[in-house]
Each structure stands twice: as C-alpha cells, then as structure tokens.
Structure 1
Amino acid sequence: MIDQFVGKVMSQSVRTVPPETTARDVATLFADHDIGSAVVVDPETGEFSGIITESDVMQQVAAGADIDSVRVAAFLSTPIITIDRTENIHAAAALMKEHSIRRLPVTDDGDLVGILTTTDLTHYLPRLRNTILRKRNDLAKQ
C-alpha cells in the first residue's frame, strides 16, 4: 500500500467565518470564491465551533428562513470533525465515510491549515494509480 498524507492532498485555502455571519453573507462568500464550505471560528478564542456548507444554507432557504438575519451559529454542522495533516488519506476517507461528510478540516497542532474534500481525493486518485503502476513495473523489471 502506498501511503500519502492528508497534508499533500488537501486544499490549503480554507475559509473561516465568525458565528455571527449571516446566511446571505456566507452564501456570497461561497459564490465569490467558488467554494462549498467555511469553518466557523470564534474570533475571540480561535476555536472551531463547526462547519457551514452549501447544503446547510440551502436548507435554510428551503425552510423559508430570513437569510439576511439568520446567523450561521444557528444552523452550522456540529460537532466539527477534523484530521491532522500527518494522517494517511485512507484514514481520512474512512473518517469521511463514517461521518457521512464531504469536507474535512485539516489541522496541525490544533491550528487550521487546510481542508480535504471528496473532490481533492477524487483528483488525487489518478496520480495514486500511476504511482502504483510505476512501482509495479519497477518491481517487475528487477
């Protein structure tokens, strides 16, 4: 098995928002930056309180919430599941499957350093396949 670490596959540009951010503001952030989530961080403590996703915002819209006044603190996904950047991507994929999530904030000594998404893993798979094939061919030549 070829080990690859989360830190090599993750996206380093993870967005954060404070809990008082409105649903409209977070939706605008998503549209402006072509992203699907943001980690909710308390600006005073720096602690993660959850994650907000496109699905969370869409549920608010579907429920008829006033997106100009409802704050992300009222509907963020908790508890937040994170993974350390030194963990193997296989462990990350298992964690994502176990918790039925598509986005996994990545930490280093407790600090937020990136996010791993199912898209990141999907884009990495062809490279992993090529690496496996190359190693197999190298072994066959020996």
Structure 2
Amino acid sequence: MDEKISVKEIMTTAVITVQADDRLTKVVELLQDNPIHHLVVINKGKVVGVISKKDLVRMHALVGQPEIGSGNFATTAEHIMSENPLTVDPDDSIGLVADIILANQFHSLPVVDQDELVGIVTSHDLIKYSYK
C-alpha cells in the first residue's frame, strides 16, 4: 500500500450521521435505506460513536426482534453505539488507516479535522484503492 496517499484522497465526504439521542428506528431506517454499513454518532457537534450493522445484529441477538413502538425501538443511538471511536486526520496516510483497521478489527474510522467530522474511511475504501 502506498504510504504517501492520504486519507482525504480516498475517504467518503458525504457521511450519514445520527445524533446521540436519535431513536433506533431512525438508525435502522438509515442503514436500510442507504448503501452504507456504518453511521457516525454526533453529540453537540462532536463525534462520540459509531454504529455498524453488526451492532444492530448484536443487539437483535440480545433482545430479539423489537416491535415498532416497543421499548426496544425507543432505544437511542448512544445506547448501541461503539463509544469514543478512534479517528484519523485527513492528512494521515492510508497505511496508518490500514494498520489501525487491522490491529483493532474495525471496518471504519471517522475522519476529523480540528474536532469537525469531515469524512469516513472504511476497509472498503482501502480495497477499492488497492484495485485502482
């Protein structure tokens, strides 16, 4: 992998986000209606978590299939997200991203510039780049 290529060259800038207090129904809708596997969770303008489709599967395994309108659908994003995600800078190398993803078994990293979310980089982005 070319260590000189920066994250900003391969990241997705149109990041779909949810607020920490958004309901599970919104999380499910966004993940079903968009070709994505991860949502970045925001609270007061800052990245506070990430929710993956795998998080929803895990929640489903623990609590079963919630009925719409039930207490489980009242759960908020902050209750199912992976908290305090590692983030990368747009100028970091994709080699660093690959190292972080492999070492931590992550599939996505929010890209933050001066505490502001500017993108997301995923294992899929790395694979697409490697086949260019």
The normalised TM-score by structure 2 is 0.87
From the CA coordinates, give the structure whose radius of gyration is larger: 1
SS of 1:40's partner is: strand
For 1:77, give the aligned amino acid. S
Q: Within 2, Cα distance between the matches of 1:117 and 1:63? A: 26
| Count of matched residue pairs | 125
CA distance in 1 between partners of 2:121 and 2:113 (Å) = 13
Q: Which residue of 2 aligns with 1:28?
A: 29
Query: After superposition, where does 1:50-129 map in structure 2 within 5 Å?
Result: 50-64=49-63, 66=66, 67-127=72-132
Q: Is the 8 A contact 2:46 2:115 kept in 1?
A: no
- Structure number with higher helix proportion: 1
User: Per-residue CA shift, 1:74-111, capped at 9, x if unaligned?
Assistant: 12102211000001100111111122100011112221
Instruction: Give the secondary-structure state (helix, strand or coil) at the position aligned to 1:27.
Output: helix
Q: Quote the residue 1:136 is aligned against.
A: none
Deviations 1:15-58, CA, capped at 9 Å, x for gaps: 1111122222211101111211111111xx21221111111111
Q: Unaligned stretches of 5+ in structure 1?
A: 128-142
Contact 1:23-1:57 within 8 A present in 2 as well = no
CA distance in 1, matches of 2:91, 2:74: 39
Work out the CA distance in 1 between the residues paired with 2:47 and 2:92. Answer: 20
CA distance in 2, matches of 1:38, 1:102: 12
State the percentage of identical aligned residues.
27
In the alignment, structure 2 segments of 5+ residues that lack a partner are 67-71
CA distance in 1: counterparts of 2:114 and 2:83, whole angstroms: 21
Q: After the TM superposition, which segments of 4 or more aligned residues of structure 1 sit over 3 Å from their partners?
A: none
